[in-house]
Structure 1
Amino acid sequence: MGKKCILVSECTSGDVIAQKIVSKYGAIIAVENTVVNNYIKNKLVTFEIKYIWIYGTSKDESPKVIDATLLKSKKNYKENAIKINELINDLSKGKNINFQRIDEISNSIYSSINDEYYTVKWINELRSADEYSYNHSINVSLYGMLLSKWLFLSEREIKDVAKAGMLHDIGKTKVPIEILNKKGKLNSYEFEEIKKHPFYGYNIVKKVNSISDEVKKAILMHHERTDSSGYPMGINENELSLYSKIIAIVDVYDAITSERVYKKRETPFEAFQIFQNSNIHCFDIHIMNVFLKNLAACYVGSKVLLSNGQSGEIVYIPPHAITEPIISVDSKYIDLSKENSLKITAML
């Protein structure tokens, strides 16, 4: 795919950004594969960005190449989701872990590391209440991979986090199916059974030499919290491993933004609010902020429904106010930080 560096003054609406744009203060203005609009161009000027990288060497080339990348990333998402669920189903039937398949899936997931825009796009589009369990492991693996990238971890560490994401819930294969599929609220006994699944998962992999100790710890600790409010051990922040802190955040984010049989999905922006308010003491604050700020930038260009019934497109997400993006509606810009009566009610 061709790339070229151009002056911001020369870029036009429809150009596709080929490299993340960050201001001199560290603010993420746009991620790779974001389509340039007038609002973003004005922000680039405001932040004194002189040059940007875009895809394509001509106006005709860029859309064709981007469409091919889009289809490939969607195909990879679906194929990896199937493979992970086959792996988990084999474990639930008492079959041995297929280590080669784990490595193959991890490598395939890693191959999309530079397609963060499309990765987030497919995670959000390919959801349904009936397929939460089906998609959750691939989503956590992908979000974990992206967060690891944004934390500047090594390739080996990123692939390990991807493995931890795909395997984090394997302990649920040992939980009674009627508890896992219960549509109503769990009683105290059922919840105690659910809380055992990190132990069950750890016991499945603890003697597997080809799975690193850090991945095993993440499986065991992904429901632990920095304020000791988690389970199964209630340990504190100093005892938590890096991978477990990563998986804990992305696991909760995917659960909040997914449709469940007993609750509706929240929008990404409602999820950001929940993390910044209710969950601020539960997670590593640095890792959480890196995740939210980078992820927020991936939603530029998304279509949304507002609480007044109007639909629009996100044209910019302020780095200092990620819960209140700028929306283009009928050629007008709506700044949600200044419109207290409006909110995003759904992603379209």
Structure 2
Amino acid sequence: MPSIAVGELKPGSKIIKDVITPLGGTLFSKGKVILPRDLEILQAFLVQQVEIEGSEVEGKTPEPPKAVATAGAIAHKPGTIINESLLAKSNSSLHDEYEKMLMLIKKSYRSVAAAPLPILELRSQLEILISHLKDYHVLKFAPRTIHDIDYNYHNAVLSALTSYKIAQWCGYPQKDWMQAAFAGLLHDIGNVKVDISLLQKPESLSSEEIEEVRRHTTYGYQLLRNVTAINEGVRLAALQHHEKIDGTGYPLRLEGSQIHDYAKIVAVADIFHAMTLKRAYREAQSPYLVLEQILTESFGKLDPVIVQVFIQKTTELYNGTRIRLSDGRHGEIIFTDRSNLTRPMVQIEGSIVNLAVERELYIQEIIA
């Protein structure tokens, strides 16, 4: 069938050619069945015509697909389907193994000053946890409960999972994936030798206190120096994860290629989780705002290639992902422009909000 004007398009029509926006982005892919809400999206993007498949029965308009509560999904209200597996995600095997890893790293951190690190036990549990990585999405995953005093342990386990993914995404050899995960798991182990009151202090630290906290990098390297079954990159990640590409970091003010790749990976994972986890003195921040801050840090501070890959991969969410905006309204993602990955278009109560234009708004939370 020849092209049809968007104004004449009916719900239920099937697209036979990718719909391209005037700016060159793919709005809908070939084979998509048009839903009522898609008509508004096409108009919002100033698309004039689309090519659709002809009706089998002449003159009969195809009916739009009905919402069916398939296995793994339940009806929430008319016209809305919620994935049951997402509602039950806190009961997943991933969460079970995450909590086992959390307890083990907590025990290991607390005893490391007096006893050898149980590296084989840590590796075994880390391998089990990573076997569930298909269920881990960096922006969506949340531990069942987080106690303020356990922040460092949560950051360690989350950084391990995220570092493993980053190593995969960036194309590092498979032999590096587990070592990158170890680097994430152990990067802050030196904090065990820092006064805990400084780590949890809500007020600004004095210059002397800042210097003491910064020593956790050298403490970490010293604690890992004689640990077997990890490579030197893991030890260097503990030492270097606060170094910056432009040489303004600490403790050695290293630059660019002087910083180990694992440290560059862990730096991104650590910043993301440090800012999106709730702290005793600070609420968790929006993952999307944190991604934007990480992008800013990529100009001279963080490795720009790792940052670009990280943002691209973490924001690969399917259209229809349900979210909550910073003003409290609920909606769903309908389109993500590759030039504005952290600011997609969302549909809220029948209207479209372009977050790339309405900069005062942002996605506060992914619901499902």
TM-score, normalised to structure 1, is 0.76
In structure 2, what residue type is equivalent to 1:115? D
Q: Is the 8 A contact 2:244 2:254 kept in 1?
A: yes
In structure 2, what residue type is equivalent to 1:197? H
Of 114, 123, 133 in structure 1, the residue corresponding to residue 134 of structure 2 is 114
The match for 1:344 is: 363
The match for 1:266 is: 285
Query: How many residues were matched structurally?
Result: 302
Of the two, which has the highest radius of gyration? Answer: 2
1:85 partnered with 2:137? no
In structure 1, what residue type is equivalent to 2:85? D
Q: For residue 61 of structure 1, report the CA deviation from its aligned partner.
A: 4.4
Q: Is the 8 A contact 1:28 1:293 kept in 2?
A: no
Structure 1 unaligned residues grouped into runs of 5+: 1-8, 11-26, 30-36, 49-57
1:156 partnered with 2:190? no
Q: Is the 8 A contact 1:272 1:322 kept in 2?
A: no
The match for 1:320 is: 339
Q: Is the 8 A contact 1:267 1:346 kept in 2?
A: yes
Matches within 5 A, 1:210-225: 210-225=229-244
| Inter-CA distance 115–72: structure 2 relative to 1 (3 Å threshold) | same
The match for 1:73 is: 94
C-alpha distance in 2 between matches for 1:189 and 1:341: 38
Q: Is the 8 A contact 1:109 1:162 kept in 2?
A: no
The match for 1:5 is: none
Q: For residue 191 of structure 1, report the CA deviation from its aligned partner.
A: 0.8
Look up the SS of the partner of 2:339 in the other structure. Answer: coil
Look up the SS of the partner of 1:328 in the other structure. Answer: strand
Q: For residue 198 of structure 1, report the CA deviation from its aligned partner.
A: 1.1
Of 116, 133, 142 in structure 2, the residue corresponding to residue 96 of structure 1 is 116
C-alpha distance in 2 between matches for 1:125 and 1:332: 34
1:165 partnered with 2:184? yes
Look up the SS of the partner of 1:312 in the other structure. Answer: strand
Residues 172-220 of structure 1, C-alpha deviations (whole Å, 9 max, x = no match): 1111222223221111111101111111111111122321111111111
The match for 2:276 is: 257
Look up the SS of the partner of 1:313 in the other structure. Answer: strand
Matches within 5 A, 1:104-143: 104-117=124-137, 120-123=139-142, 127=146, 129-143=148-162
Q: For residue 81 of structure 1, report the CA deviation from its aligned partner.
A: 1.8
| Inter-CA distance 323–293: structure 2 relative to 1 (3 Å threshold) | same
The match for 2:21 is: none
The match for 2:58 is: none
Q: Which has the higher relative contact order, 1 or 2, with Cα contacts under 8 A spaced 6 or more apart? A: 1
| Inter-CA distance 134–151: structure 2 relative to 1 (3 Å threshold) | same
Structure 2 unaligned residues grouped into runs of 5+: 1-13, 16-24, 28-34, 43-48, 52-67, 75-82
**RMSD of the alignment, in Å?**
3.3
Q: Is the 8 A contact 2:246 2:300 kept in 1?
A: yes
In structure 2, what residue type is equivalent to 1:176? D
| Inter-CA distance 110–86: structure 2 relative to 1 (3 Å threshold) | same
Look up the SS of the partner of 1:297 in the other structure. Answer: coil
In structure 2, what residue type is equivalent to 1:253? F
Which is richer in helix?
1
Look up the SS of the partner of 1:114 in the other structure. Answer: helix
Matches within 5 A, 1:302-313: 302-307=322-327, 309-313=328-332
C-alpha distance in 2 between matches for 1:130 and 1:208: 26
1:184 partnered with 2:203? yes
Q: For residue 298 of structure 1, report the CA deviation from its aligned partner.
A: 4.5
Q: Is the 8 A contact 2:152 2:188 kept in 1?
A: no
Q: For residue 146 of structure 1, report the CA deviation from its aligned partner.
A: 1.2
Q: Is the 8 A contact 1:312 1:328 kept in 2?
A: yes
